[in-house]
Chain A
Amino acid sequence: MKILVTDQSGVEHELEGLDGWRTMEVIRDWGLNIKAECGGACSCATCHVYVEDGWFEKLPDPSDDEEDLLYSTLDKKPNSRLSCQILLSEELDGMRVTLAPSAAKDSEAA
């Protein structure tokens, strides 16, 4: 299973994903610039990604907690999600996401 992740500098990376992993974990494991400071507890918003059209609609709706956190970021867009809340499955094979500026390790925005 693959996911395609565009980093903050615009470079696209094809990452090997695993069924049941969180998208955040895959991005972090491959060493891209993601802060993910709470480690997947849905309590920080530093794994913020934009999910490409077509894939965004496939995702289950965000929880109220996730929405609250997304609203706390400076760079929220209509297709924003926290990547720790996107569990990978065969259905998401080939999903394209872009890392938000506020997910960067040195981001002031987060």
Chain B
Amino acid sequence: MSNEIVTDVVIIGAGPVGLFAVFELGLLDVKCHLIDILDRPGGQCAELYPEKPIYDIPGFPMVTGQGLTDNLMQQIAPFGPEFHFSRMVTKLEKLEDGTFRLETDADEVFLCKVVVVAAGGGSFQPKRPPVEGIEQYENKSVFYAVRKMDDFRDQDVVIVGGGDSALDWTLNLQPIVRSLTLVHRRDAFKAAPASVNKMKELVMEGKINFLMGQIGKLDGKDGQIDHVHIAMDSGDTPLPATRLLPFFGLTMKLGPVADWGLELNDNLITVDTAKFESSVPGIFAIGDINHYPGKLKLILSGFHEAALMAQAAKAVVSPGERVVFQYTTSSTKLQKKLGVV
């Protein structure tokens, strides 16, 4: 039986624009749930450039992607948004009464009055490594994420990559596997130094292996690998393995958004510039995923879109209710909502 969640608004995407939408909707007493495929808030800011300085956020001469995310999380905390991470919205349908029903790949159902698509460039999906025929092993013996640790118990595991995911799973899985080999094309890692040190200790203690090289072909049958070939300076090295975890980073794919019956323009959702509403009334699109004449893919544009969307969404959530426009500088009512008076 699916877990059913009823709310005013579901925001698809917890990047900077989705997060700020919580603020604008919150000022109007509209309650939000957010769904994101990543395991944390921030979207591209967190995944692609957490350390990169951004110079064009109004009022911030410089802020990093992670810094902006942290600030937004602090700014929206008074509104108690509820986050659902590491899942993808697979289905979105409009019900006869005009409300919406969403399904996620984590077997949840959301019922809501308004949907805000703030999905940026689409959903982040793991990159498939450059290995021929890898598809036939996927989700059987080759995995791009660890969903159940037990799938790796007493297995001969090969982990490929030099980032935090590769290092974290090397450390987490080591105690339960039969053998573990970490493969990276060089002897330098883009991961937390503490994890790198711990990994090196495990190698010294002989508990895991580290090989410098690249994965080549896979041997196996019926979806089950038995050897991973590693191209090393010394030549091709076949490595006995029953599980492969390649961590080659993430890439953005539009994903299920294309199937929701929304009018698209070159894979972007067409919206008007008064409400930022899509071709389906009640479904709004803000940030990088929308398209309108003059659109600029800037975070600040997404913030503006969120503010105007919120006014229109409020009218859908509370029909007939008069919305009084107020400023946070002068309205005690708004200040109470923010918890500052």
Contact = CB atoms under 8 A, between A and B. Distances in A.
Contacts of B186: 64, 68
Contact of B48 (A41, A65, A109): A41
B130 interface: yes
B214 A38 contact: no
A44 B52 CA distance: 14
Nearest to A106: B267
Given A64-B186, A68-B185, A71-B214, A43 B127 contact: no
A72 B162 contact: no
Contacts of B249: 43-44, 69, 72
A65 B127 contact: no
The residue in A71, A72, A74, A109 that gathers the most chain B C-beta atoms within 10 A of its C-beta is A72
Contacts of A64: 186, 188
Contacts of B129: 72
A74 B128 CA distance: 9
Contact of B49 (A43, A65, A71, A73): A43
B248 A72 contact: yes
Nearest to B122: A37
Contacts of B252: 37
A76 B130 contact: yes
Contacts of A46: 251
Interface string A76-110: 10000000000000000000000000000100111
A23 to B, nearest CB: 19
Interface in A5-60: 37-39, 41, 43-44, 46
Contact of A44 (B162, B185, B214, B251): B251
A62 B188 CA distance: 15
A20 B52 CA distance: 19
Contacts of A44: 48, 249, 251
Contacts of B248: 72
Contacts of A68: 162, 185-186, 190
A56 to B, nearest CB: 21
Interface in B200-250: 214, 248-249
Contacts of A41: 48-49, 52
B44 interface: yes
B235 to A, nearest CB: 18
B49 A72 contact: no
A55 B44 CA distance: 33
Interface of B: 44, 48-49, 52, 121, 127-130, 162, 185-186, 188, 190, 214, 248-249, 251-252, 267
6 contacts: A37-B121, A41-B49, A44-B251, A69-B249, A71-B130, A72-B248
Given A37-B48, A44-B251, 7 more contacts: A37-B121, A37-B251, A43-B249, A46-B251, A64-B188, A71-B130, A71-B214
Which 4 residue pairs are nearest across A and B when measured between Cβ atoms?
Answer: A74-B130, A41-B49, A38-B48, A72-B248
